[in-house]
Structure formats: structure tokens, C-alpha cells
Amino acid sequence: MDQILGAIGIAMRETALFAACGFLLLGVSDLAVDLIWIGRTLWRRCTVYRRFQRASADTLPAPERPGRLAVFVPAWDEGAVIADMLRHSIATFEHPDYRIYVGCYPNDPATIAAVRGVADPRVRLVVGPVPGPTTKADCLNRLWEKMLQDEAAEGLGFKAVVLHDAEDVVHSAELRIFDLLIERFDLVQLPVLPLIDPNSRWIAGHYADEFAESHGKELVVREALGASLPSAGVGCAFCRDTLGEIAEEHGAPFDAESLTEDYELGLRLRPIGGTAAFVRLRAAAGRPMVMTREYFPGTREAAVSQKARWMVGIALSGWDRLGWNGGIAERWMRLRDRQAVLASLLLFAGYLSLLLWSVLFLARAFTRFEPDPIPPFLALLLELNLALLGWRLAMRSTFVALAYGWREGLRSIPRVVVSNIIAMMAARRAVFRYLSIRRTGSASWDKTAHFFPAQVPAE
């Protein structure tokens, strides 16, 4: 028995050392982002906002060249939500000239019928030529083709292409913001804030934690450093002319072979001279931000599936497709984007070492076994990581509390465990799916079931 426990002690120390070294590197990277955000925030409060009043959507000037906007909504198996989403969007958008293109498939009659049931001339149903699902990017390209046909037939071009999903709750001011700022930028991204699902506060709720921090801090830092700004695929607008240039070079604006075409398109803008802006703008003084809201997956299987798709597209295939171009800031941000699988491996090692330590603790309590002491170097690493973990939890809790209130801020702390478990499960699936894509050379739309709120929250 002592020999078995001794082997467990060795395994515990080795896995703990591996996890501690990795967590230290990731923790230092996170800390650097936090400090940059804090420094930028303090600087702007002490300089810019003392001289100028903060802008809000209701104080923005009119665009110099008002234009028509195209809203692309790819929809595969979305019969349960697409009609509600379209009706809400039509009733909500405060813009005089827009058109919503909804992409469907010939073998999805429920979604087609739901779109046709929305009787509004601003909604265009686009049924692709092949059965679905293909990829989301392929569906978006079909919408692009239909938009070009309309431009040719009507002799009037579009100014920007806005992306949304079939479950999105849009904001009334977003098209006005896009119409103005797309005159200065090739990509304009608004924050995305998941809705809290009262029936899934722990699984769906962990998305709220991650997006509150990512769209409250991470994208702000990326923009401040001059790194490429990835698109979230919803609540964003691309300059129509810029997409046209990309289409001329590559045959289509969206890469049909990509699982994360929105993310990649955002990163491809900078090398061709494109500009991007992440816009955190309140609807009015004292009002919430202009943002896109939606329910995220509320079951373990759906969350794992979605996270696995993101890992494949960003962390694995993104490495193959986009490489490591750019300066130090760009490479650092891409490294952060692609660390998800490694982080999941470190999490597994960390939880395993904790489990083995628990076995040794119980053995010491109930037997005469005395485990070897933890080496001083490993003890130092553990102390440093514990301090970084405390800081990380405090930062996440703060951002979640700012977005959702103090109760959700407190819930975000234990929800980290749920997030970690989903990440580890998703990493395993992502690796196998990535290998399958490399072997077969094809990818398909791996979507999750969506829900539209029965009562849309107030803006």
C-alpha cells in the first residue's frame, strides 16, 4: 500500500508542477491584460472625459452619407425562433432604410414557412440551391449573392452588411450607429451580452460571465494595443465595399470552409488595410449599453458542442489558416485566442493533482502513511497561482456584477468550475473534430437549438 501511495505522491507532484507552470504563464498574461485595461480606463477618466462629455447613441450626429443597410441572418433549423426574431427586429430598428436577408435551405420547410409568415417587404427569403446544413459561411455567401442581384436590379447599392443570428435580440439604436461609424471603419462591433436563463443559471450562466469580461475588457485592450479586432458574428457591421474587395480576391466574402468565418474575417481586415472599432456606447446617459442580447446554450451537451466548434475554428484551424502574422501585440492576442485547448489540458492536470492530493490527505489521516513534503519550488508556484486565481476571480466577479448585478457577480465565482468542466469536455471533442476535418477536408454547420425570449427585456 505504501508503494501505491508513494506512486500517487509522485504523480501528484508531477501533474501539479505541470499545471502550476502553465497556469503561471496564462495568469501573467491575464494580469497584463487587466493592468492595461485599468491603466487605459484611469487615463481616459483623468484626461478625455474631463474635457469631453461621454457620447451616447442619442447624441450622435447624423451620418454624412446615409445609406441602405443589409442585415444577413443565416438560418438552418430555426423555425422555432426566426419569426419572433424578425418581427421584433422590424418593430425595433430605428432606421429608415434597411433590408433583412434570411438564408434558408430547401430541406428545411419549417424555417422557410416561418420566414414567409412574416409579411414585410423588408424581409427577403433566400433559399440556397443545395440541402443543408452546409456551413454558416456558405449560407452567408448565398445572402451576399442575392444582395448583389438586388443591387443590380434596383440600381441602388448597400452601405454596410450587418450580421445577426436567428435568436438575437437587437437594439433599436444599432443601425443608426452602424450607418454613422461605417463611414470611418470597415468593421464596427457592438458588445454581445448573453441573457440570463433562469432555468440554466449554471451552464448558460457561464457564458454571461465570459462575455461580460471579454466584451467589457478583452476587446477593449485589443483595440487599445492596435491588434486585429475579431468579429463576434452578431451585432456587427462590415463595410459593403470592403466585403466586395475581399469577394473579388477570394471569390466570396466569407470563407465557406471555415467554422468561425466571422472571427477570421475580422482578423483578415488589418493586413489589407482595413480598420475596425469596438463600440461600447450607452443608449443615453444613465442607460445601458447598446448591445446584442441572446440566450446561449443551457444544456451540457449543447454548450460542449458550441465550445468545441469555437475551439476548432479559432484555436486549431485558426492556427493553420491565419498563422502568426503581425507584431508583438497581434501575436500575443492570437496566442490568447488559441490557448483554449492548452488551458483545458492544464485544467485537467490541475484537477487531477487536486484529486491525488485528496487521496494522500485521507491516507495520512487514516493510516500511518506520511507523504513526502511538497518541494519549495512547487510550493512557491502554488502560492503565486493562488494569488493570481484570487485576482482573476475578483476581476471576473466585478465585470459580471457591472453587467448583471451583484448577485450574478457572486454566482460567477463558483460558476468557474462549471466553465472549466465544459471547457475540458469541449477540448476533447474539438481535437477529434479537428482531426476529422483534416482527414476529410470538409466541415458542416454544427449548430445548437436556440430560444427567443417570450418577453423581450427592456433596453
DSSP of 430-448: HHHHHHHHHHH--------
Residue ranges in the chain modelled with pLDDT below 50: none
User: 236-239 and 123-127: which strand pairing?
Assistant: unpaired
Cell of 361: 490527505
Quickly count: other Cβ atoms within 10 Å of residue 221's Cβ: 21
Place of cell 426574431: 85
Residue 129 C-beta-side C-alpha neighbours within 13 Å: 4
Q: Which CB contacts under 8 angstroms, 24+ apart, belong to 405-412?
A: 408/196, 408/205, 408/208, 411/201, 411/205, 412/205, 412/208, 412/209, 412/212
What is the model's pLDDT at position 131? 93
Residue 8 DSSP SS3: helix
What is the model's pLDDT at position 164? 97
Q: Which CB contacts under 8 angstroms, 24+ apart, belong to 155-160?
A: 156/68, 157/67, 157/68, 157/240, 158/67, 158/68, 158/69, 158/70, 158/99, 158/240, 159/65, 159/67, 159/68, 159/69, 159/239, 159/240, 160/67, 160/69, 160/70, 160/237, 160/238, 160/239, 160/240
What is the model's pLDDT at position 258? 84
Please say whether the beta carbons of 437 and 123 come within 8 A.
no
Distance CA 15, CA 94 (A): 56
What is the model's pLDDT at position 161? 98
What is the model's pLDDT at position 333? 95
Distance CA 408, CA 392 (A): 16
| DSSP states of 191-228 | -EEEPP-TT-TTTHHHHHHHHHHIIIIIHHHHHHHT--
Please say whether the beta carbons of 204 and 296 come within 8 A.
yes
What is the model's pLDDT at position 456? 84
**Residues in CB range of 300: below 8 A, 6 or more apart:** 203, 422, 425
- Set out the domains of the chain in order of their start, with CATH numbers: 57-299 (3.90.550.10)
Residue 287 DSSP SS3: coil
240-250 and 261-269 helices, crossing angle to 10°:
100
**Residues in CB range of 381: below 8 A, 6 or more apart:** 17, 20, 21, 24
CA 102 vs CA 111, 144, 259, 380, 402: distances in Å: 10, 11, 19, 56, 34
Please say whether the beta carbons of 210 and 419 come within 8 A.
yes
Distance CA 80, CA 57 (A): 32
Place of cell 435568436: 167
CA 442 vs CA 220, 256, 258, 318: distances in Å: 34, 10, 9, 15
Please say whether the beta carbons of 287 and 173 come within 8 A.
no
Nearest alpha-carbon partner for 157 in 229, 84, 244: 244
